[in-house]
Amino acid sequence: MSESPLTSSVSKGCFVFKSASKKRKRHVGVGDDDNGSDRFRICQKLWETVQMNTEAIQDQLNKKVLDSLAEFIKKHGLGCSSDVWRQRASEIPTAALMLGVNVPDHAMTFRSLCNLLQDSVTPFVVSVHAKECAAVKLLIQKVLEQLMGRGVSVDEEQEDDTALLQRTQCTISALCQLQDCYQENLTNSDLPQSLPVVVIFKDFEAFNSQVLQDFILICSRYTQELPFIFIFGIATSPSAIQHRLPHSVSSLLCIEVFHSLSCTQHLASVFDKLILKSQFPFKLSSRVIQVLVGIFLYHDFSVQNFVKGLQFSMLEHFNSQPLSVLCCQKQEALLSAKTLSKQNVERIRHLPSFMRYVETQEPQEQVQLLTNDEHVKEVCQKLLKNLHKYHKNYYPILQCLHSLTSSLPKFPLGKHIRELHVSCIEKNLWETEEYDSALQLLRILAKDELVAALRKCAEILKSASTKRMQNVLQQLEDFIGRLEALEGVSSEGSSGNGIISGKMEYQRTDLFQLQKTLLEKESRRTKRMNPFEVLRSQVMEFIDSLVREYLTPAELQPLNEVCYYSSSGVLRQRLNVTPRTSIQAALSHPFYYLQNESLKTDTGTISSAAPDLCIVFKLHLECGRLINLYDWLEAYVTVMSAAEDQDTDSEECGKFDSLKHARFIQAVSEMEFLGFVKSTKQKTDHVARLTWGGC
């Protein structure tokens, strides 16, 4: 406690003055050292790789449903004149495209769909949003704008003949005339003479139901002159059509449902074909993966937002880690290791993984690593080679283990490969109970099932490029040959248990029978095993040795910090923010957002130059649970009077005019809109405060 002329109070109290804060540790940025440009170049290259690969993955996953939609439109668009496919002439063929609730990902799907239809089916393709079509007139106008390739909107204040003519053209009749003119140009063309008009409703559930009804009724009257085809982008279920359209309108639609792949399958493909590839040098730690997947599962199911989180992790890693210049392909990384600066060599010595590596070396080698910079560069090249070799051997064995365990009951090691990957990089997998359970289940596989599982592993290992993986493949093929060479071993008898056999799909979830089988196996352990059981045991021991050798945690690898991003707290703070905290910070400290020097104030004071909302917000923090509106207004007027340089002791100070009253009412309304106060029935001239804490 201390006395100060800056604090004066009628009542007694304690005033605490914080000492000047210490300077924060300087954050190393991209441009703060000599390899900043190289780090930026590598990060930009990886960014483009992520963007290109994710788009290619989504196009590949959506190819089947998009091709089906194209065939649907071709069939109905070309057959519209014969009316063979229609029950009535007024029916409009409609495709209900079930996309799921991952709304941010829909834009790329619709963009690919529009390009496909315009290239292979018809040039008349229109896509509309609900927010742009609040009325039927606006919807028809939007359709004509996209088909004619120019705007047809008109200023309402224009009253000349041109404006009137443009307004009269916003009709379906004008669209029929447009198509007739286009058909005349196709007389000598190979394209069909009757091209359909495809209207895509991107967010069907968001459209006003009355607008949809009127538009469908209008289009149904022009089906003979103009072949319409609708595509409804639905995020929930096909029943949304019946909920938004009455039977009299839905009966005018000939609906066929199309399902796209789920967002979880899309995420699994991104992991399998991008993140879990040794060719992609940037890696994520287990906690970072859990943060990104948690945001995906509990917020929006958006793979695009997941990719944005991945790209933000890359930016943060290359900005905060100067040694990330070594995070690139093998040859480029080795070249960068040769040209490391003295500052970066010293940073390598301070890496936790490198310090553990030094502790395992001989005393003479430790002295060289701590004193000789050139020797550190040579060792760094060797360690980077080992790190790249570790990744090349890690992912094939990971895929093999997932292939073996993904079909087991209850998925002991996880249904998706990312779950198995997280378990492997954060701890020794072979020390977990889940791994023991999976190995016990694999030890009771029947012959046919074991051979089929090993064949899948062999197919995975054929794409591996290292010599060690090729040796593993030869050993695996040798086991497969020896298993197939066994004679007189049936599917029923080869398991030795009778639980995982040819009827495995019917007995897989019978946990009581499984427990009984395992107990019988333990009781017969002392009995003599047949040749198949001996060979099966050898196969399991071989797989266990591969897991222990190649699926070691990534943090045990020297120099893993150069390519693994592990700041999960920073990532959670940036991606999983709390809006209320951000709003309170902006209202309490407007200077940091508006960058206005006049808004700088001491702690606990209120600047009269601040926006009205900030002043009202700070004043409400000094009140209790119920706030008297008149007292609140008087305090606001007092602060505003200080801005007008009025004498605080004069009679004019504190008086408010209609302008100040109106500004105060607007600020209180904004406070209520933001959720800081609400009206209360306890006292009519009070509002209830919804926050805690003070200035």
For strands 626-628 and 253-259, give the pairing: unpaired
pLDDT 10s digits, 350-370: 999 999 999 999 999 999 999
Whether the CB-CB separation of 615 and 636 falls below 8 Å is answered with: yes
Distance CA 465, CA 279 (A): 12
**In this structure, are residues 89 and 224 in contact, taking their beta carbons and an 8 Å threshold?**
yes
Please spell the DSSP secondary structure of 565-583, one letter per residue.
E--HHHHHHHHS--HHHHH
> Residue 660: its pLDDT value, please?
87
pLDDT at 196: 84
Contacts of residue 215, Cβ cutoff 8 Å, sequence gap at least 6 = 136, 139, 140
Q: With respect to CATH, is domain 88-149+169-184+192-261 assigned 3.40.50.300?
A: yes
Strands (E), 572-676: 626-628
pLDDT of residue 201: 94
Which H helix or E strand runs over 342? helix 342-349
Six-digit token pair at 646? 């009025």
The bridge status of strand 253-259 relative to strand 564-565 is unpaired
Q: How far apart are CA 656 and CA 644, in angstroms?
A: 12
For residue 397, the model assigns a pLDDT of 94
Question: What is the pTM assigned to this prediction?
Answer: 0.75
CA distance 410 to 508: 9
* Inter-residue contact 301 to 102 (CB < 8 Å): yes
pLDDT of residue 1: 43
DSSP for 81-131, please give it.
TTTSS-SSTT-EEEEEEE--S-GGGHHHHHHHHHHHHHHHT-S-EEEE-GG
Residues lower than pLDDT 50 in the chain:
1-28, 30-32, 80-87, 150-168, 188, 490-507, 694-695
CB atoms within 10 A of CB 468: 14
pLDDT score, position 648:
52
pLDDT at 33: 55
DSSP for residue 134: S
- The residues, ordered by sequence, that sit 6+ positions from 449 with a Cβ below 8 Å of its Cβ are 500, 504
Contact indicator for 204, 232 with CB cutoff of 8 Å: yes
3-state secondary structure of 686: strand
CATH 3.40.50.300 in the chain, residues? 88-149+169-184+192-261
CA distances from 65 to 69, 260, 449 (A): 6, 6, 33
Of 616, 581, 639, 638, nearest in space to 687 by CA:
616
What is the Cα–Cα distance from 350 to 357, expressed in whole angstroms?
11
Contacts of 244 (CB under 8 A, 6+ apart): 204, 205, 207, 209, 212
